Amino acid sequence: MLFLAALAYLSKTNYNISSAKEKEIVAGLVDGLSYKMIARSNEISIETVRFHIKNIYKKLHVNCKVEVITKSLRGEL
The pLDDT assigned to 17 comes to 78
pLDDT at 14 over 60: no
Residues contacting 53, CB < 8 A, separation 6+: 25, 35, 65
The pLDDT assigned to 4 comes to 62
pLDDT at 54 over 70: yes
Dihedral sign computed on CA atoms, order 19, 1, 14, 73: negative
Which CATH number describes the domain made up of 2-74? 1.10.10.10
The pLDDT assigned to 19 comes to 86
Q: Where are the domains of the chain?
A: 2-74
What does pTM read for this prediction?
0.75
Distance CA 24, CA 39 (A): 10
